[in-house]
Amino acid sequence: MLRKTPNIAIVGSTSLVGKELRQMLEDSEFPVARVALFETEEYVGLLQEFAGEIQITHVISPAAFDDIDIAFFACGPEIMDSYVASGGKFPGVTIDLTQTRRDGTIFVNGISDPRSLPAQGYFLNPHPAAIVISRMLSHLHNAFGLQSAAITVLVPASDRGASGVDELQEQTVNLLNFQEIGSKVFSGQLAFNMLPEPRASGQTETLILEQVQALGLSSPMPLIGVVQAPVFHSHAFSMFARLAGEPSAEALAEVLRQDHANIMVHRPGTDLGDGPSPVSVVGSDKIHVGRIRRDANHSGAFSLWIAADNLRIAASNAIHMAERILFAPVAPTEK
């Protein structure tokens, strides 16, 4: 049984999403008795701060989890694969943010039924784009009846981890200095360019669709296209939706505003009216929606522009999942 003030582990505490997770845990009211930070051997002994205290990074190993209640795996795929290959056991509550495994309980806060979460087990935190898409599809279908949807996802360099961010930065600097550019992470020049990345994009499209389907939504599955964008952080989405009903753009916006905990709709004519961008949403754990336009030529058809900080969305959902597990009501015992 979980302690109400659990010991927490973050595996991959120096990764992009690991840093975000660590900061959000520190800023939240999530109860933590002790936090342990794990990495590969090259980062052992690294000093990091959590809740005003200095923590020493330890090497990941099965024995390291002996007194851990909840473990967040925010590491790279290679670290997760290596740990699985070693035969190491996972803690009682393991939340996987690595997008490397398919078996486990998948959960999106506000969409999934919290009662479906077991008290212990292996839990999958969906791809951040799957979190955004599932929330949007669910709201549109429940309110108006969704007939079809097509979504283009513009993914940032941070979807490939720190190495992707570093390569985009290096390419940008080299191009501005008229030097040759290298491309080890991406298939070519990403700086000042966009890449179809057929293999990587196809894998991401399949993963997102599998996860949205696994959530058990009643809405039709969307057509998803992924394009690699020359931005460091945040997803952007160009969404086309055809609804069974014929609401106005304002009625559609009002439905989305009702989920104010997770969605922010930008009103035309205000400071936010120009619409969200990958840069403007950094640091927000909300889905930002702008430019809701009704297609005058097709009944019930709309286009929407959406942006969301991929790192914050992922970390926020993982923490909410842990909270739901930790504070789940205890069933009364029979007398």
Q: Tell whether 2 is covered by a domain.
A: no
Mean pLDDT for 61-75 is: 89
Q: Tell whether 121 is covered by a domain.
A: yes
Note whether 179 and 171 are within 8 A (CB). Answer: no
Quick check: 273 pLDDT over 50?
Answer: yes
Q: What pLDDT does residue 241 have? A: 97
Q: Is residue 156 located within the same domain as residue 305?
A: yes
Q: Is residue 144 located within the same domain as residue 240?
A: yes
Output the six-digit token pair for 72: 């967040």
Q: How far apart are CA 161 and CA 307, in angstroms?
A: 19
| CA-to-CA separations, 283 to 37, 200, 323, in angstroms, rounded | 22, 26, 21
List the one residue out of 126, 114, 149 whose CA is nearest residue 313.
126
Q: How far apart are CA 291 and CA 150, in angstroms?
A: 16
Quick check: 11 pLDDT over 60?
Answer: yes
Output the six-digit token pair for 65: 């989890």
Q: Tell whether 239 is covered by a domain.
A: yes
Q: Is residue 136 located within the same domain as residue 270?
A: yes
Q: Is residue 158 located within the same domain as residue 110?
A: no
Q: Tell whether 207 is covered by a domain.
A: yes
CA torsion sign, 79 to 85 to 90 to 94? Answer: positive
Q: Is residue 143 located within the same domain as residue 196?
A: yes
Which CATH number goes with the domain that contains 181? Answer: 3.30.360.10
| Domain ranges, residue 121 | 7-126+316-326
pTM of the model: 0.92
114 DSSP 8-state letter? G
Q: How far apart are CA 159 and CA 45, in angstroms?
A: 27
Output the six-digit token pair for 321: 């999942």
Q: Is residue 97 located within the same domain as residue 146?
A: no
Mean pLDDT for 63-80 is: 89
Q: Tell whether 1 is covered by a domain.
A: no
Q: How far apart are CA 2 and CA 328, in angstroms?
A: 11
300 DSSP 8-state letter? T
Q: Is residue 168 located within the same domain as residue 42?
A: no
pLDDT tens digit sequence for 106-139: 999 999 998 888 989 999 999 999 999 999 999 9
Q: Tell whether 334 is covered by a domain.
A: no
Tell me whether strands 235-243 and 146-155 are parallel, antiparallel or unpaired: antiparallel
- Distance from the Cα of residue 43 to its chain's centroid: 25
Q: Cα torsion at 268, 270, 272, 273 (round to 10°)?
A: 20
List the one residue out of 263, 193, 267, 204 whose CA is nearest residue 230.
193
Say which range, 19-28, 31-40, 230-239, has the weakest mean pLDDT.
Answer: 31-40
Tally of structural domains, the chain: 2
Q: Tell whether 111 is covered by a domain.
A: yes
Q: Is residue 111 located within the same domain as residue 144?
A: no
